[in-house]
Amino acid sequence: MELFEIKIEVPAAAADAVDDVLLELGVEGWSLLEDAIAKQAWIVGVFPDAAEARARWAELRPLLPAGAVPPGEPAERALGDRDWRDSYKAHFKAWRFGRLHWVPVWERGTHVLPDGDAAIWLDPGLAFGTGNHETTRLCVERLVGLGVNPATRVADAGCGSGILALSAARLGCGRVIGFDNDPEAVRVSGENAALNGLAGRVEFATGDLVSGFQGQQWDVVLANILANVLIQFARELAAAVAPGGALVLSGILASENARVREAFAAIAPGWRMSWREMGEWSDVLLLRPA
Fill in the amino acid letter for 131: G
Contact 60, 67 (CB under 8 A): no
Contact 210, 121 (CB under 8 A): no
d(CA 63, CA 139): 32
Signed CA dihedral, 215, 218, 223, 227: sign only? positive
SS3 214: coil
- Is 117 labelled as part of a ligand binding site? no
- Is 224 labelled as part of a ligand binding site? yes
Helices 183-195 and 163-170: crossing angle, nearest 10°?
30
d(CA 78, CA 34): 22
Contact 155, 211 (CB under 8 A): no
For the annotated binding site for S-adenosyl-L-methionine, the residues are 136, 158, 180, 224
For the annotated binding site, the residues are 136, 158, 180, 224
